[in-house]
Amino acid sequence: MEHLDIVSEVKHQRIKTNGIWLHVAEKGTGPLVLLLHGFPETWYAWRHQINFLAHHGYHVVAPDLRGYGDSDSPIDPSSYTIHHLVGDIIGFLDHFGQHQAFIVGSDWGAVIGWHLSLFRPERVKGFVCLGFPYYPRSPTAKTVETIRKLIGDESHVCQFQEPGRAERAFARYDYLTVMKKFLLITRTDFLASPSGMELVDFLPTPSVVPSWITEEELMVFADKFQESGFTGPLNYYRAMDLNWELLAPWQGSKLTVPTKFVAADKDIGFETAGTKAFVESDIFKSLVPNLEVVILDGHHFIHQEKAQQVSHEILSFIRKLSPNASI
């Protein structure tokens, strides 16, 4: 029951940052490593990495991002812009008295990591990005419109725009089933449903839980979402077009922070949406000049599915950037 041991050893606190209270789980001492989860997860998604990195001489902090878990969940989607999200992370660094930290982000956590690196590169010692590359901002088309043209009205991003719609669809299932539909996803093409069908209805519920996670671990997520609901997490998607407007001043900016991009070869859209081609392209390398790319065998939640491999990829990268950390 290793995951239960991890949970019992982790310290929990709530930190006031950027006008709200955010919950963090932490373990270990040494250089600060911040682990930023995605949708629909909580700090618990990093349970394996927390233990591993703390054991190797790092102070590991995994927050519930705003809207998630035991963190505050503002109602208005405009409270979930990328500036709010990055501001929350700056608040963590200041709270722990650290000028710099290593950042690891998956999914929306990766989006936050990219923009923290863009806005405040002097605060980021190195960034490990899981799955979601840094795309150049379109100077003409808003994000949701771009996705609608590419994938259609039934993409998850489009379905999540209307307040209450996805919440009502999710509510037709118990929370454990919703977690299984998303966390155990093995789709490799676009995340979209057939016309007129809600995505959550279209996604299958696996009858067998894969070996990398237990029913009990899935219940940890389910119980937390039962307490907090899905509106906060869905508000990240509802702020996407507002983000597009707010990011205009950084049009064409490069990211100079040392970055390791870890991709899963069976991630959603990795092959079909052109992610692989983009990640291997000169455009990506020109936007992120200090870049290392690693492609692993796995799916979207690679940090849980291939926990040991991902932990070693993170450790090798941050060790290279801080060779004096204890073994």
Run of H or E residues at 12: strand 11-17
The C-alpha atoms of residue 254 and residue 284 are separated, in whole angstroms, by 10
pLDDT at position 6, please?
59
- Distance of alpha carbon 281 from its chain centroid, rounded? 23
The C-alpha atoms of residue 21 and residue 173 are separated, in whole angstroms, by 29
Asked if 268 contacts 185 with a C-beta cutoff of 8 angstroms, the reply is yes
**Catalytic: 300?**
yes
Average pLDDT, the chain: 94
Query: Span 124-147, mean pLDDT?
Result: 95
pLDDT range class, residue 322, cuts 50, 70, 90: confident
Asked if 38 contacts 109 with a C-beta cutoff of 8 angstroms, the reply is yes
pLDDT at position 327, please?
47
Give the single-character DSSP code of 136. P
Query: Span 192-218, mean pLDDT?
Result: 95
Query: Span 35-62, mean pLDDT?
Result: 98
Asked if 36 contacts 65 with a C-beta cutoff of 8 angstroms, the reply is yes
Is the pLDDT assigned to residue 326 strictly greater than 60? no
**226-265 pLDDT per residue, tens:** 999 999 999 999 999 999 999 999 999 999 999 999 999 9
Rounded to two decimals, the pTM is 0.96
pLDDT at position 3, please?
53
Asked if 123 contacts 99 with a C-beta cutoff of 8 angstroms, the reply is yes
> In which residue are the tokens 């270990």 written?
28
**155-171 pLDDT per residue, tens:** 999 999 999 999 999 99
Where are the alpha helices (H) located in the chain, listed in sequence order? 2-9, 47-55, 82-95, 108-119, 143-151, 156-159, 165-170, 175-183, 199-202, 215-228, 231-238, 240-246, 275-279, 282-287, 302-305, 307-321
Q: β-strands 59-63, 32-36: how paired?
A: parallel
For 29, residues 6+ apart whose C-beta sits below 8 A from its C-beta are: 57, 59
Written as six digits, the tokens of 90 are 């700056």
**278-317 pLDDT per residue, tens:** 999 999 999 999 999 999 999 999 999 999 999 999 999 9
The more confidently predicted of residues 20 and 272 is 20
Q: β-strands 32-36, 11-17: how paired?
A: unpaired
Is the pLDDT assigned to residue 213 strictly greater than 50? yes
pLDDT range class, residue 190, cuts 50, 70, 90: confident
Annotated active-site residue in 37, 237, 299, 303? 237
Q: β-strands 59-63, 259-264: how paired?
A: unpaired
The more confidently predicted of residues 297 and 326 is 297
Query: Span 93-98, mean pLDDT?
Result: 98
Q: What are the structural domain ranges in the chain?
A: 1-321
CA-atom Rg of the chain in angstroms? 18
Annotated active-site residue in 72, 88, 107, 267? 107
The C-alpha atoms of residue 107 and residue 51 are separated, in whole angstroms, by 21
pLDDT range class, residue 7, cuts 50, 70, 90: low
**50-75 pLDDT per residue, tens:** 999 999 999 999 999 999 999 999 99
Instruction: Please give the CATH number for the structural domain made up of 1-321.
Output: 3.40.50.1820
**Catalytic: 107?**
yes
